[in-house]
Amino acid sequence: MGLHFTNKENTENENIYEEALSQTQLPKYSLPKQSQSPELIAQLLKDELLMDGNARQNLATFCSTWMEPSVHDLMDVCIDKNMIDKDEYPQTAEIEARCVHILAKLWNSPESDTTVGCSTTGSSEAAMLGGLAMKWRWRTKRKALGQSTDKPNIVCGPVQICWHKFARYFDVEMREIPLDGDEVCMNPDKLSEYVDENTIGVIPTLGVTYTCVFEPVETISKKLDDIQDETGLDIPIHVDGASGGFIAPFVNPDLKWDFRLPRVVSINSSGHKYGLAPLGVGWVVWRDKQHLPEDLVFSVDYLGGNMPTFALNFSRPGGQIVAQYYNFLRLGFDGYKGIQTTCLKTAQWLADEIAKIGPFDLFYDGRGGLPALSYCLKEGDWGFSLYDLSDRMRMRGWQIASYPLPGNRQDTVIQRIMIRHGVSKDMVALLLEDLKQCVNYFKQYPQTHSGATSSFHHG
Ligand SMILES: *Cc1c(COP(=O)(O)O)cnc(C)c1O
């Protein structure tokens, strides 16, 4: 027993919850002076993290929430690998390049072995890079013809927020074709009203965030062919395949949305969504080398070698990239196909069952797009709004997004359920029972208020 009650003795207490720190609130605004034992702090932090939702029950997100044990191992092995140091970690760089070529081939690039692409932190960064390449090419073309380059625009349907960011951050006008009537995605017939000589590209989404449907890239491409015949404007397409890029190749192989369409110059996708990699990796791939302007690529020589890089970030973890390659090798085409098909079947089953309950009108039933479903509330006095239902489902830990449609359909509120790898049929059956019980509860105890706001984002 020392006379001084030192920090060391303090942390040797057998019961973590009797430690001095455990009997206070954790510091929130300034750095504590003393060190503490790692076990104590880790336990207290784990306790605090219990307040987060349970990721596996989060059916509002598109992102991976279940990983094979080998992926956890590989992530640990890679924790000190910085993917930007391509000279220090040449094998990680090599693995990144392999992933790019595998994806280029999966998306039918005519030059998949030699084309360019890169990993990113997610589809958002990938979208910025794809958008910048289009802006640069448009500008070079216009300059060569002595035409003005001060008013670039992009044309799209109801896009994910990353494209609004791209437009604002890089000074490009956003022309979002609004949803009208019963439309659930971009209507290609409206394209000619929106594109002009300043359109750097059209951005269809394969797996619309709001409704989960695939926008008809082939029809959009044909419309742009017609527009070119009439006006001479040759407008490229970048496909936002954040989710669909890892679904369509496996379950809709005949759907032409990728580099099989000559107008498609680049594609982005999220490795951490249906690519099944852990959070923190996206991909962007160009149809061929010439579609990535060279003056966007920086050469880095202070890490040892002389390496080209095109990215918004600099240092970034290498583990997600290695985990992506692991999934490619471990699952192969058939493995991905099996997982995506299972998710689709589960989504379709749940959609059919939800339709039978009564109050719900299916919006998307899991057929033809992402493994997901969406529905709205039928006209009628059900005693609840979809926001009430989201809140009540949360009592059982389920997180289900409710939100208004964009464009001219903002009066329609829908609810969306994403089915991912690791969301089993049994879990979904439990969810269905909870949903039925909620509906019955509201029958008995109708909510007088409705339209309570929800903080759910759109994943
Ligand atoms: C999720 C998503 C994004 C953003 O992707 P992150 O990987 O989260 O950055 C962009 N577009 C679409 C269609 C998405 O679904």
CATH number of domain containing 194 = 3.40.640.10
Q: For residue 216, is it within any domain?
A: yes
CB distance 59 to 400 below 8 Å: yes
Q: What is the mean pLDDT of each run of 10 residues along the chain (459 residues)?
A: 46 80 94 94 96 94 96 97 90 95 97 95 98 98 97 98 98 97 95 98 97 97 98 98 98 98 98 98 96 90 72 94 98 98 98 97 96 95 96 97 93 96 97 98 87 45
Domain count along the chain: 2
Task: Among 273, 284, 312, 374, name the best residue to mutate to test ligand 1's pocket (greatest count of ligand atoms within 8 A of Cβ).
Answer: 273
Ligand 1 pocket, mutate which of 160, 186, 268, 284 (most atoms under 8 A from CB): 160
pLDDT for the residue 40: 95
Helix ranges restricted to H, 120-173: 123-144, 161-169
CB 242, CB 270: distance < 8 Å: yes
For 63-101, write each residue's pLDDT tens digit. Answer: 999 999 999 999 999 999 999 988 889 999 999 999 999
Domain assignment present for residue 2? The answer is: no
Q: What is the pLDDT of residue 305?
A: 66
User: Is any ligand 1 atom within 6 A of the Cβ of residue 415?
Assistant: no
**Total-model pTM:** 0.93
Do 172 and 47 share a structural domain?
A: no
In a domain, 110, yes or no: yes
CA 242 to ligand 1 center in whole angstroms: 5
| Residues across the chain | 459
Provide φ and ψ at 199, rounded to 5°.
Answer: -80, 115
Q: What's the gap in Å between 369 CA and the centre of ligand 1?
A: 15
Burial of residue 49, with CB atoms counted within 10 A of its CB: 0-12 exposed, 13-18 middle, 19 or more buried: exposed
Collect all residues with Cβ–Cβ distance below 8 Å to 151 and sequence separation of at least 6.
173, 198
Of 119, 121, 162, the residue with max ligand 1 atoms within 8 A of its CB, to mutate for a pocket test, comes to 162
Whether residues 47 and 95 fall in one domain: no
45 lies in the same domain as 187 = no
Task: Give the distance (Å) from ligand 1 centre to CA of residue 449.
Answer: 33
Are the beta carbons of 371 and 356 closer than 8 angstroms?
no
Same domain (yes/no): 351, 422: yes
Whether residue 15 sits in one domain with residue 81: no
Give a yes or no: residue 3 inside a domain: no
Q: Which atom of ligand 1 is nearest to the CA of 205?
A: 13
- Tens-digit pLDDT profile for residues 313-370: 999 999 999 999 999 999 999 999 999 999 999 999 999 999 999 999 999 999 999 9
| CA end-to-end distance (rounded Å), the chain | 55
**Residues sharing a CB contact under 8 Å with residue 418, sequence separation 6 or more, in sequence order:** 59, 60, 61, 62, 212, 370, 371, 372, 459
Domain that holds residue 267: 66-459
Question: Quick one: which of 345, 396, 406, 337 has its CA closest to 373?
Answer: 345
What sign for the dihedral angle of Cα 391, 392, 396, 402?
negative
**How many Cβ atoms sit within 10 Å of the Cβ of residue 202?**
30
* CB contact at 8 A, 294 and 137: no
Q: Give the type of residue at 229.
A: D
DSSP-assigned letters across all residues of 382-412 = -S--HHHHHHHHHTTT-B-EEEE-SGGGTT-
* pLDDT for the residue 5: 44
Same domain, residue pair 103 and 17? no
Assigned domain for 262 exists: yes
Q: Are residues 162 and 45 in the same domain?
A: no
How many angstroms separate the CA atoms of 374 and 160, rounded? 17
What is the rounded CA–CA span in Å between residue 162 and residue 284? Answer: 14
* For the CA of 126, the nearest atom of ligand 1: 9
Q: Are both 33 and 131 inside the same structural domain?
A: no
b (16+ CB within 10 A) / e for 215-238: bbbbbbbebbeebeeeeeeebbbb
Are 13 and 126 part of one and the same domain? Answer: no
Per-residue pLDDT, 456: 45
